Structure 1
Amino acid sequence: MPRPALVRSVPPLSTRRPLGVALAAGVTVLGLALTGCTSAAPQASSTPTAGGTLTYASGDAEPTCLDPHVGGNYPQALVSTQYLESLVSLDSEGTVIPWLADSWTVSDDGLTWEFTLRDGVTFSDGTPLDAAAVQANIAHLQDPATGSSTGYLALAKVTGTEAVSDSVVRLTLAQPDGALLESLSQPWLGIESPTALERSQDDNCAAPVGTGPFVVDSWVKQNAITLVRNDDYTSPPADAEHDGPAYLEKIVWRFIPDSASRYAALQAGEVDVIDNAQPDTIAQAEQSDSIVHLDAPRPGASNRIELNSGKTPFNDAAVREAFIRSANVDDAVASLFQGSAERSYSALSSVEPLGISRPELFDYDPAAAATLLDDAGWSEKDADGYRTKDGVRLTVVFPVSTNQSIPAEQSLFEQIQATAKATGFDVQLTKLDLSSWYTALGSNAYDAVSAPYTKVGPDVLRILFHSDGITPAPSGYFANHAQVNDPELDSLLTLADQTNDADERSALYADAQDLILEGFYILPLYDQQNHFLLGTAVQGARALPTVSTPTFYDAWLNR
């Protein structure tokens, strides 16, 4: 018998304030225009029509590689959701459901997993999906030469694979991993053709080969990726609305960095869907009869500022708390985001049932911040009004990725810079492109950073805050940007990851979150934002409940 699917529905401990109830990341089918933020709209009553080209305009950075095994960032996940598929998926309640794997079992000690694959599935190059194909994908993700970060970290406990038969693959783990199924649902672990993986990395980056409903036809860099329908498609996830090939004939995936230009193109009908919608355009769209707003917050971690506790000045918890008390985030979120984001006081997204919220830790209190800095020895001020200690200015180097932080968020950082200055912090905001931003992080040239990281489930806490996360993956990327090194926290996160007892898991993650929040390692801001705007001609699109990427398998054009 297959192991029952993992469930993410255990409530937080009653002694802590739970996160507010939120809509699931992706639920029903999109359709009619709505006036308020929503995760979906009702399905249109008309019959789907096959054919047509959907044009998608992204404001995220154009990937340097279309294979999400390489690196593993969100722009890759957005587009690869259309042509790669995972062993499992999640439904709108967060329950693991079949996809390329029909069923799975786990041994009593949690160290051996077996996955039975769907019959008759082939990659778009004709290679069959079998146990050997899954083995090749795991080997590819774990090969340091691939340069994986997200997928590599997700498979850290997998030490071996075996083809039990053509349709059954066995994974052996060094330690139990209660988050393995959630990890395998993510697009960064999408299953690719082993034949295609034998090509050079450049070739595979240009056109990965999957089992998905669309195929990469061409990629004109700094312009668009063209995806065409896979007419032999047979493997939709268990919660799809139909079987067989996609309705759309083609998707043109454009890159339009400027938010105003993206929205103007949507209004003019030049594109059908845009992402990274800005608060002002969301407000306009919700007054429109021709545009639908899909609000699909990402799971895992909240959007947060991480304070580098590995060096001065934030190796002192009092200075970290002082910075947090000097940041007037509530007013900035209210004024800049126009109702499109709610303030978070949690390390986890509001869509994570095990998240806890501690608003009392994040009050704007400049008087308390001043006292904390006085007591920590930062009591003198220089001629510019910044605090000093032993002649050294209280400086916070804060690199900002212009590819990942929308203009409203950049303005939020500037408001934090201003309120922190009043307390005596010299916050040095530096706007960087994505490559330069990664370089700054990799060289430890930062004191504060806002670094998005998406992973299904509360195990994201282990990735972000376990001391193991200070060590870079083969790609050079490391996830513990707060550089937390706390043996007690490590123990809690390790135990939580290894248990399948729901009550114990909930308690361990709650205790871990308390240590993170009470240690003032992060300044929570709001959920990681996914705001999509769609023309009303687009029917049947939705955000997958895994990491809230859009899927156009069920989509069709009513025009």
Structure 2
Amino acid sequence: MKHTSAHTPRKTVWATGLTAVALVLPLAACSAGGSTPEPGEARTNLVYATGDGEPSCLDPHVGGNFPQALLATQVLESLVALDAEGTIVPWLASSWTVSDDGLTWEFTLRDGATFSDGTPVDAAAVQANIEHLQDPDTGSSTGYLAVRQVAAVEVVAADVVRFTLTRPDAALLESLAQPWVAMQSPAGIARGMDENCLAPIGSGPFVIDDWVKQDRIELVRNPENTTSPDGIDAPDAAAAETLTWRFIPDATARFAALEAGQVDIIDNPLPEQITVAENSEDLAHLDAPRPGASNRIELNTSTVPFNDQRVREAFIASANVDAGLETLFEGWAPRSTSALSSRERLALQSPEAYVFDPELANTLLDEAGWTERDDDGIRTKDGQRLTARFPVTGAQSTQAEQALFEQIQAGAREVGFDIQITLLDLSSWYGALGAYEYEMVSAPYTKIGPDVLRFLYHSDATVPAPSGYFANNAQVKDPELDALLDTIGTSMDVEEREATARAAQEWIANASIILPIYDQQNHFLYRADLTEFRALPTVNTPWLGTVIAG
């Protein structure tokens, strides 16, 4: 198997592709190059086609999901970033210091940075952004949780801003690097949510020019952009001047447009399309899995049937995940047995906790009292069927993943589970979670570092953010686990934090509250004539500011 690492694009040799000519989009609607350039001349327009759901708001402070982060990376910049080795590096902040007690942080900002509306990126702007994230009316989830420990933001000087925390936050820099906490123009925020959702104003390489709902967003080069993360050069003069961001939900149509040259880059390809690109002279593949949590199925421990650990263990033992991955993903999604993405340095794999064993599953269900079966073969106990509701959203899961869920559903049925999969749009899916109308859920969560475990499994995380979102879908409330997660979040001692992260992962595996499947997938296919295309190491969103379309 050959594929590109997260930061080193490469192309391979041609093989017959999956062509769907009938689904190629009209050339006038989405030509990758606009006007035809002279041979050897770089094109001025870049076209990106996404299969992720179209955001209802482009301001990543509002809510805070991955589709927002994809686009925000092209428009907004963060105080700090992550490099390819996982080290925090300067971006809008040139340096920072932290007090001995971990409660006071001071950030010095880069000279001369401005938002595209001419507003300076200064301490007052940082203060306005943190206040915006923490304002309940913003309805932030990811960003709100990231800065939850910030009690006050003080303007020390035009280029120096001071954060005072409620408690030490070992993950503060990791949190500030994320696109959901990126800086926006205070003047843009002041316009109000409706206008800012249409076009947040940042200091990044592009500016949002127009948004044609259900079709595309047009962006133009930001002439005020002078900053980039340390380690990434400023855009070359030949870099694309405009960016067309298309929404093409159908994976076959998206790939056909790429093959036809109507689109330069696509995300969310099917596994077989990745294989085609890996063997193509015209296409290339970038594999950039997301940090934070693994893709996993979480079991709601607060209600029947998964409030009984034996039933949770039985479900896990009924799932032949390895076989499903082999048949459906063509090797592009290696199995995970960890709560953390393997991109995380502290990820602990626990294969012994996730073994396929239908015989054990049957034994455990018998021990748990689910001994009878109805006419459909579903186990019952005291007249109640062994049922688990599993809402799934197509906006956050691929076709292959949905097929894997169906295979897991079939395996669970063999031992007597009735897993009820319901495919919902993103808004309805959030609604189902908020109303606790689930016993199982697959909810990807992208965050840098092991502190994501605190977001996902601390009892505090069963309490909704101002947006109504809560991240502890497993509804775990355990003092021993809480203590471990608190240490991960607060300890400034590297060795203590690492040891505690391992202990927390062991607790999660032993309690059988999740079924890990694989890392959060993040595959990009692109035309091989592109140069300088990469994923930004922070959360591996595409970085298009420096791309040259040859």
Deviations for 1:54-101, whole angstroms, at most 9, x for unmatched residues? Answer: 100000000100100000000000011000000000100000000000
Taking the aligned partners of 1:148 and 1:242, their CA distance within structure 2 comes to 31
Cα distance 1:243–1:537, how it changes in 2: closer, same or farther (>3 A)?
A: closer
The aligned residue for residue 73 of structure 1 is 65
The aligned residue for residue 457 of structure 2 is 465
1:217 equivalent in alignment to 2:177: no
1:493 to 466, 475, 485: 485
The aligned residue for residue 24 of structure 2 is none
Deviations for 1:359-383, whole angstroms, at most 9, x for unmatched residues? Answer: 0111110111111111111111111
Residue correspondence of structure 1 range 58-97 to structure 2 within 5 A = 58-97=50-89
Taking the aligned partners of 1:246 and 1:489, their CA distance within structure 2 comes to 52
Tell whether the 8 Å contact from 2:3 to 2:287 is kept in structure 1 after alignment. no
2:317 to 325, 340, 344: 325
Cα distance 1:365–1:306, how it changes in 2: closer, same or farther (>3 A)?
A: same
For 2:128, the aligned partner's letter is A
Tell whether the 8 Å contact from 2:11 to 2:285 is kept in structure 1 after alignment. no
Cα distance 1:411–1:274, how it changes in 2: closer, same or farther (>3 A)?
A: same
Residue correspondence of structure 1 range 316-465 to structure 2 within 5 A = 316-465=308-457
Taking the aligned partners of 1:193 and 1:113, their CA distance within structure 2 comes to 22
1:26 equivalent in alignment to 2:6: yes
1:132 to 105, 121, 124: 124
Taking the aligned partners of 1:23 and 1:499, their CA distance within structure 2 comes to 37
Taking the aligned partners of 1:245 and 1:102, their CA distance within structure 2 comes to 25
Tell whether the 8 Å contact from 2:235 to 2:545 is kept in structure 1 after alignment. no
> How far has the Cα of 1:25 moved from its partner?
7.1
Tell whether the 8 Å contact from 2:123 to 2:155 is kept in structure 1 after alignment. yes
Tell whether the 8 Å contact from 2:226 to 2:234 is kept in structure 1 after alignment. no
Residue correspondence of structure 1 range 31-70 to structure 2 within 5 A = 32-33=11-12, 52-70=44-62
**Structure 2: tracts of 5 or more residues without a match:** 16-39
The aligned residue for residue 202 of structure 1 is 194
Deviations for 1:363-415, whole angstroms, at most 9, x for unmatched residues? Answer: 11011111111111111111111110000000010011011111100000000
Aligned with 1:461: secondary structure? helix
Tell whether the 8 Å contact from 1:246 to 1:553 is kept in structure 2 after alignment. no
Query: Between Structure 1 and Structure 2, how many residues are aligned?
Result: 525
Deviations for 1:257-280, whole angstroms, at most 9, x for unmatched residues? Answer: 000000000001110000001101
Aligned with 1:163: secondary structure? strand
Taking the aligned partners of 2:202 and 2:293, their CA distance within structure 1 comes to 28
Cα distance 1:24–1:548, how it changes in 2: closer, same or farther (>3 A)?
A: farther
For 1:417, the aligned partner's letter is Q
Tell whether the 8 Å contact from 2:59 to 2:196 is kept in structure 1 after alignment. yes
For 1:552, the aligned partner's letter is L
2:531 to 519, 524, 539: 539
> How far has the Cα of 1:533 moved from its partner?
0.2
> How far has the Cα of 1:284 moved from its partner?
1.4
Taking the aligned partners of 2:87 and 2:128, their CA distance within structure 1 comes to 27
Cα distance 1:57–1:512, how it changes in 2: closer, same or farther (>3 A)?
A: same
Tell whether the 8 Å contact from 2:4 to 2:285 is kept in structure 1 after alignment. no
Tell whether the 8 Å contact from 1:33 to 1:536 is kept in structure 2 after alignment. no
Cα distance 1:455–1:361, how it changes in 2: closer, same or farther (>3 A)?
A: same
For 1:472, the aligned partner's letter is P
For 1:27, the aligned partner's letter is H
Taking the aligned partners of 2:133 and 2:43, their CA distance within structure 1 comes to 35
Taking the aligned partners of 1:466 and 1:546, their CA distance within structure 2 comes to 24
Tell whether the 8 Å contact from 1:24 to 1:351 is kept in structure 2 after alignment. no
> How far has the Cα of 1:51 moved from its partner?
5.3
Deviations for 1:146-189, whole angstroms, at most 9, x for unmatched residues? Answer: 00000000111111010010000000001101000000000000
Q: What fraction of aligned residue pairs are identical, expressed as a percent? A: 60
1:276 to 268, 271, 291: 268
Taking the aligned partners of 1:161 and 1:207, their CA distance within structure 2 comes to 26
1:146 equivalent in alignment to 2:134: no
Taking the aligned partners of 1:471 and 1:49, their CA distance within structure 2 comes to 55
Aligned with 1:80: secondary structure? helix
Consecutive aligned runs of 4 or more in structure 1 exceeding 6 Å deviation = 22-25
Taking the aligned partners of 2:11 and 2:219, their CA distance within structure 1 comes to 26
Please report the TM-score for the alignment, with normalisation by the length of structure 2.
0.93
> How far has the Cα of 1:242 moved from its partner?
3.4
Cα distance 1:291–1:442, how it changes in 2: closer, same or farther (>3 A)?
A: same
Cα distance 1:55–1:399, how it changes in 2: closer, same or farther (>3 A)?
A: same
For 2:121, the aligned partner's letter is L
The aligned residue for residue 40 of structure 1 is none
The aligned residue for residue 161 of structure 2 is 169
The aligned residue for residue 516 of structure 2 is 524
Aligned with 1:495: secondary structure? helix
Tell whether the 8 Å contact from 2:14 to 2:282 is kept in structure 1 after alignment. no
The aligned residue for residue 513 of structure 1 is 505
Taking the aligned partners of 1:437 and 1:233, their CA distance within structure 2 comes to 37
Cα distance 1:483–1:408, how it changes in 2: closer, same or farther (>3 A)?
A: same
Aligned with 2:291: secondary structure? coil
Aligned with 2:474: secondary structure? coil
> How far has the Cα of 1:288 moved from its partner?
1.1
> How far has the Cα of 1:27 moved from its partner?
2.4
Please report the TM-score for the alignment, with normalisation by the length of structure 1.
0.92
Aligned with 2:304: secondary structure? coil
Aligned with 2:157: secondary structure? coil
For 1:200, the aligned partner's letter is G
**Structure 1: tracts of 5 or more residues without a match:** 1-21, 37-47
